[in-house]
A and B are shown apart, each in its own frame.
Chain A
């Protein structure tokens, strides 16, 4: 069976811990992977792929030492291991230009501003996870209780 992964990239340890604490509810059916750098994240996602598992959601900060979030997103664009992955940019210090690049070059699905709201973050992740599961053609019934109901309803009725 394909395990689902949520990969979080954030250079600041305290923030990283806070994000993953907020997302701990997803650990009932997903694995969380924490990374402090873009390069590290690429390696981790490749490994996940090699294990035969799936990166369902990638959440990345923008301003980090080494690769920026947009650079990471641009670098992995088209890579098979993130083909269907839903991408979220979580950042507080991005300029207008960064934001445009994140959308155009990084093809992000959602942009969340720091400081984030736990409810909003988990709702967005839940929705994107649901989309990922439905689009990937997996057996969604095993995840039924965790999925976003309106999204699921729309999918089934549409």
Chain B
């Protein structure tokens, strides 16, 4: 909010002519009360040094600050000029304070013009300042309410999510362990009862699944049809297996009339593979969801910042294959936190960066992690040269349910950044983002301890 330029009222005259009586001074210790609501007041106070705060208290005992005044400011104007002479607020010294005062009797005997002419700008100024502070208060309150709504939303979502996650977790657990059991059992039995080739094919399916792209499969299928005497659907299934030429030949030769049956071993294997992938993904999603609602686990301790980032990078090794990672983080920086929390922060942010670049097919994809220390806080910047955060979600990236990730099992839940933010603010830190195409930066600030070896 823009505040117009304002001229300070001249109180020199008032000081010299109305507040010059050394008898009419009061010293207040910190915490001492100058006025209480309802109290009769016939004095107009001028603060010589220190600070006074005025507040009113509502029925629930909550205090609302009305003014916060320092040297050369006046107190008690309302009760002084009002015909009832009653104070409406509590005025208390925030520090040792000295005030001078003018009493009503003296005021009445004073030549009218001099005083009024000088006090009027002072009073207007006081009113102006109070109005300003009220406005400020209003803005702050508005922001606080907004934050509260957000926090409440997160808490409700968290609780609900944790409940759902718990239920689903049991169901997924059953699917996961049963499919593992079934895989083991089948592998053993196929090893005993089927041909070695069939067993190989089964294991291949379990381990790799069908991972070729559909266009590659189409290409290999056409090749198989041109070379061997097989139908299109058999050829497609053979293509999916991604076999080397020799194994393929062997299979077609041995299989002959039985090829469709042989293929089943691969299909069953790759279905089990997909079970495994899907249940892992589901469990991962559920874990993220539960983090939202779960209370903190483990006790915070001093964690080596660089080490925690390195740990995260090693967890992400697989998806970082085509990305250049530059890390310039000072040694000897420690953050008091739960080590898992820190890793979760870095993993989430780095993963977001890499996934956005993969989806965008950014050439020369790069992630940079830089640190700097200022005023007891470490600032970690994680940046990427990807497509940037879409304009339409820029404002809401830290809110739940906002995601750019569509398609594939790795679809976004839109919970990553809210969780990251929750963790960081939980440690008294902050996280901000800046983004334009070609440069996206997440700036994290955390309290830090510097230890020099």
Contacts and interface: CB of A to CB of B under 8 A. Distances in A.
A107 to B, nearest CB: 23
B359 A44 contact: no
Interface of chain B, main secondary structure? helix
A36 interface: yes
Contacts of B406: 63-65, 93
B278 A40 contact: no
Interface string B148-180: 000000000000000000000000000000000
A12 B281 CA distance: 13
Interface string A7-46: 0000111101110010010010001111110001000100
Given A34-B214, A34-B217, A14 B278 contact: yes
B267 A18 contact: no
B396 interface: no
Q: How large is the interface on A (under 10, 10 to 19, 20 to 34, 35 or more residues)?
A: 20 to 34
B: contact size bracket = 20 to 34
Contacts of A12: 407-409
Contact of A40 (B215, B270, B277, B411): B215
B226 interface: no
Contact of B218 (A11, A14, A27, A33): A33
Q: Which label, helix, strand, loop or mixed, suits the secondary structure of the A interface?
A: mixed
Nearest to B405: A65
**Which residue, B209, B214, B406, B411, has most C-beta atoms of chain A within 10 A?**
B214
A17 B214 contact: no
Interface in A29-82: 31-36, 40, 44, 63-65
Nearest to B237: A24
B277 A35 contact: no
B90 interface: no
Contacts of B270: 17
Nearest to B408: A12
Interface in B173-193: none
Given A11-B408, A12-B409, A31 B214 contact: no
A27 B210 CA distance: 19
Contacts of B232: 31
B214 A16 contact: yes
B333 to A, nearest CB: 38
A18 B406 CA distance: 19
Contacts of A36: 213-215
B233 interface: yes
Interface in B406-438: 406-409, 411
A63 to B, nearest CB: 5
Nearest to B409: A12
A24 B260 CA distance: 12
Contact of B407 (A17, A27, A33, A64): A64
B236 to A, nearest CB: 7
B274 interface: yes
B116 interface: no
B63 interface: no
B394 interface: no
18 contacts: A12-B407, A12-B409, A13-B209, A13-B210, A14-B274, A17-B271, A21-B267, A27-B233, A31-B233, A34-B217, A34-B236, A35-B214, A35-B215, A36-B213, A40-B215, A63-B406, A63-B407, A65-B359
